[in-house]
Amino acid sequence: MRLLSTSLLVVLTTVMLGCSDLGEPSNDDLVNFPGTIIQDSPGTFLIQTDVAYQNLKTFYPLNLESEFQKDGLRVRFSGRIEVEPFVDYIWPPLRLSRMTKIQLPDAQLVQIDLQSDFADELNTFNQTFTKDLVMDGTITVSFWLTTSEQRSILQKATDLGFFSLPDTIHRKGGPYYFISPDPSPDSLRIKYDTQDKRVVWFYPPDTTDVNAKAISSLSDFIMQVVRAKPEYKALPEARGYYF
């Protein structure tokens, strides 16, 4: 067993004391978290999360079923931390309410790299998503799109004439108009079969320009798909904002 660090013990005793007994799944501390099963020692398994919860990423599952006791298994789970006051824990114990195996990613036949809103980036070339947390920097997690999601985005791109758009779309006021802080440039690259197109645009868009309206509509549609996915919903909220 790995030893509990002093800093982790402080976090556990200061943050998690007073946790109530496990109730309904709606009272779970961790909801729909992606993670990996890690075999810590013979017969002992841990869960390592993709995203930290209160600065913690490794948990000891109290009720891990045998079908999930496999080193390296990718899972999605919900559960409640059960910490007794004044008890030293090697890893915070977690009472699971739900766990499912994560399926292998669908083939990313429609590859997308969308960079927008300062530091947000969907990159299915690398199967990652990066979220801008503003004051807390950025966080990058594994991320991919289902075949159905890829088809819907490709259809939207085709309907809006994405592959025929100019390579650069200037902001309202032209290329010599400046704002601060400036989230621009945004960019979107879509590669499918023999088509490989990248468009760069600048904020604020010219709402009277058909090309600006098309790229804004497509990027908004892609982010709607992203925000609906459980991997995105499990990410921490941004702290602070740009002004």
In the prediction, which pLDDT does 174 show? 57
Q: Are residues 153 and 55 in the same domain?
A: no
Average pLDDT over residues 61-86: 91
**Exposed (0-12), middle (13-18) or buried (19+): which is 77, by Cβ within 10 Å?**
buried
For residue 238, CA distances in Å to 33, 128, 166, 181 come to: 18, 18, 33, 17
pLDDT at 68: 95
Q: Does residue 238 belong to any structural domain of this protein?
A: no
Question: 185 is in which domain, residue-wise?
Answer: 110-233
In a 3-state reduction of DSSP, which class is residue 134?
strand
Q: Check residues 205 and 193 and name the one with the higher pLDDT.
A: 193
Q: For the chain, what is the mean pLDDT?
A: 84
* 161 vs 118, residue with greater confidence: 161
Number of Cβ within 10 Å of residue 135's Cβ equals 8
% the chain with pLDDT above 70: 86
Domain termination residue (choose one: 70, 101, 132): 101
Instruction: Lay out the sheet containing 138-142: strands in order across.
Output: 138-142, 128-132, 120-123, 110-116, 186-192, 195-201, 168-169
Is there a domain that residue 86 lies in?
yes
Q: What's the distance, Cα to Cα, between the start and end of the chain in Å? A: 47
- Residue finishing a domain among 80, 101, 122: 101
Q: What is the pLDDT of residue 59?
A: 96
Statement to judge: residues 129 and 211 lie in one domain: yes
Q: Are residues 85 and 147 in the same domain?
A: no
DSSP symbols for 45-95: EEEEEEEEETTEEEEEETT--GGG--TT-EEEEEEEE---TT---SS-EEE
Residue with tokens 């079908």: 67
Between 178 and 22, residue with greater pLDDT: 178
Query: What pLDDT, on the 0 to 100 scale, is given for residue 176?
Result: 52
Give the C-alpha separation, 62 to 197, whole Å: 49
Q: What is the mean pLDDT of residues 123-136?
A: 93
* Secondary-structure breakdown of the chain: helix, strand, coil percentages, each rounded to the nearest 5: 20, 35, 45
Q: What is the pLDDT of residue 152?
A: 97
Supply the CATH number for residue 44's domain: 2.40.50.500
Cα-based distances in Å from 119 to 2, 22, 83: 36, 38, 36
- pLDDT tens digits, one per residue of 4-59: 333 333 333 333 333 323 344 457 788 888 899 999 999 999 999 988 888 889 99
Shared-domain flag, residues 69 and 148:
no
Q: Please identify, among 74, 101, 128, the residue that sits at the C-terminal boundary of a domain.
A: 101
Does residue 92 belong to any structural domain of this protein? Answer: yes
User: Is the pLDDT score of 109 beyond 90?
Assistant: yes
The pTM score is 0.64
Q: How many domains does the chain have?
A: 2
Is residue 242, in this structure, part of any structural domain at all? Answer: no
pLDDT at 92: 92
Q: Which of 181, 186, 168, 189 is nearest to 123 (CA)?
A: 189
Q: Does the residue 201 lie in any domain?
A: yes
Domain assignment present for 241: no
- Amino acid sitting at position 109: L
Residue 64 has pLDDT above 60, yes or no: yes
Question: Which one of 19-28, 135-144, 154-163 scores highest in mean pLDDT?
Answer: 154-163
What's the pLDDT at 173?
Answer: 65
Same domain, yes or no: 210 and 117? yes
Checking if the pLDDT of 212 tops 50, the result is yes
